[in-house]
Amino acid sequence: MAIVEVRGLRKEFDDVVAVDGVDIRSEEGEFLVLLGPSGCGKTTLLRMIAGLEEPTDGEILLGGEQVNGLPPRARRVAMVFQSYALYPHMTVANNIAFPLKAQGSEPSERLDKVKWAAGLFGIEHLLNRRPRHLSGGERQRVALARALVREPSVFLLDEPLSNLDAKLRAAARDDLMEFQRRIGITTIYVTHDQVEAMGMGDRIAVMDHGKVRQLGTPEEVYHNPADTFVARFLGSPPMNLLEEEDFMFGFRPEQFLPEGVASDDNGRIPFTFYVSRIEYLGSERYLYGHIPGHEETKIIAMLPATVTLPLTENRDHQFSVAESQMRYFDRERGVSIPPQPLKT
């Protein structure tokens, strides 16, 4: 197990800056998620850690040792690709054995290791099959087994669940977490799916335009976003953001509650909410509308099914947000600032 650290990491492709000065330090055995929209540089960052891409500038340290310039095979990292990248002409057993052969290990030892890795993911019965005869979930397990058979010190995953259908994905997520806990291997996981990131990560690095916008636990990035990008990127629906003259403020849709529903009406900031449309989604209701005085900004409120209060469309309602749940941002730079007095 090892700590992964990058310092001032930069990567330019011709004119494009893919990664723009990133500093991240993982904990030992941590599950660290790189989260961001496509093109934010998260995959490039992962590929630089793996050694598939050479940084333009900056340092990469694995287990305290600088690995810049070393080929992937000298880094003791394992990687699982989005497409799994199984070798189509080899059986599952040979796929898993491939890193061991490359390492030059003894054939007898190799067999034991392959069985061990296959056992970890419950694919012993598939060893003689070829990848194209496997289902998506089985392929993913083979890819994981192949990555881990060498007992690497760092485990890198590039959107490994995105090729699975929704049902399988939940199960695969569970397996992956359970497995990572058991082995305790430092894991860096790239995804654009915030549900995966929130559910799996010990910490999340939210990235945009090659920069890390915020690095923190799921609670931190969700409840105390460092800037408006993080506030908008996380959460579905995203945080409501309104502009005042010299700052912005925001609140999560689930914190925006009608009068009389909140357990304690003290310390709450009241708003008039004009509801223009209501979506009934079974487990919750989405209320779309705006706050008078801020007509240009669409506001969404999310009420759980436990709130049975009758509400009607095209009418003003009294809503409120707990003071402690209000977030404030600088208007120009978008970064988080201390609470400001509201004029509304």
Partner 1 sequence: MTTRARQRYLSDNPRFLAWVFMSPTVIYILALVGFPFVLAIIYAFTDITTGNPAIEFVGFDTIRAVLADPVFRRALGNTFWFAVVSNLLVVILATALAELLTRDFKGKWFVRFLILLPWVAPVSLATITWLWTLDSIFSPIDWVLRQVGLISENMFWLGRPQLAMGSVIAVQVWRIAPLAAVIVMAGLTAIPNDINDAVAVDGAGPWRRLFQVTIPLLAPIIAVAVLFGVILTISDMSVVFVLTRGGPTHSTQVLSTWAFFKGIEGGALGQGAAVALFLFPVLVGITAVILRLARRREVL
Nearer to partner 1, 91 or 325 (CB): 91
Query: CA–CA separation, 150 vs 146, rounded Å?
Result: 8
Cβ 124 vs Cβ 115: under 8 Å = yes
Closest separation in Å from C-beta 127 to partner 1? 17
Contacts of 304 (CB under 8 A, 6+ apart): 254, 283, 284
Q: Which is nearer to partner 1, 69 or 270 (CB)?
A: 69
SS3 track for the chain: CCCEEEEEEEEEECCEEEEEEEEEECCCCCEEEEECCCCCCHHHHHHHHHCCCCCCEEEEEECCEECCCCCHHHCCEEEECCCCCCCCCCCHHHHHHHHHHHHCCCHHHHHHHHHHHHHHCCCHHHCCCCHHHCCHHHHHHHHHHHHHCCCCCEEEEECCCCCCCHHHHHHHHHHHHHHHHHHCCEEEEEECCHHHHHHHCCEEEEEECCEEEEEECHHHHHHCCCEHHHHHHCCCCCCEEEECCCEEEEECHHHCEECCCCCCCCCEEEEEEEEEEEEECCCEEEEEEECCCCCCCCEEEEEECCCCCCCCCCEEEEEEEEHHHCEEEECCCCEEECCCCCCC
Minimum distance between the CB of residue 343 and partner 1, rounded to whole angstroms?
Answer: 54
Closer to partner 1 by Cβ: residue 78 or 275: 78
The neighbouring-strand residues paired with 277 are: 288
Q: How far is the CB of 80 from partner 1 (least distance, A)?
A: 9
Q: How far is the CB of 86 from partner 1 (least distance, A)?
A: 8
Given the complex with partner 1, which of 72 and 237 has the nearer CB atom? 72
For residue 84, the minimal CB distance to partner 1 (Å) is 8
With respect to partner 1, which residue has the nearer C-beta, 191 or 336?
Answer: 191
Specify whether the CB–CB gap between 101 and 146 falls below 8 A.
Answer: no
Residue 47 CB, nearest approach to partner 1 (Å): 8
Q: Measured from the CB of residue 286, what is the shortest distance to partner 1 in angstroms?
A: 39
For partner 1, which is the closer residue by CB, 151 or 174? 151
Residues forming contacts to partner 1 in the complex (CB under 8 A) are 47, 50-52, 71-73, 77-79, 81-89, 98-99, 101-103, 130, 132, 146-147, 150
The CB-of-241 to partner 1 minimum distance in angstroms stands at 38
Whichever of 142 and 287 has its CB closer to partner 1, that residue is 142
Distance (Å, rounded) from C-alpha 191 to C-alpha 164?
13
**Cβ distance 120 to 179 under 8 Å?**
yes
Judged by beta carbon, residue 44 or residue 320, the one nearer partner 1 is: 44
> Nearest distance from residue 101's CB to partner 1, in Å?
8
- Of the pair 128, 224, the CB lying nearest partner 1 is at 128
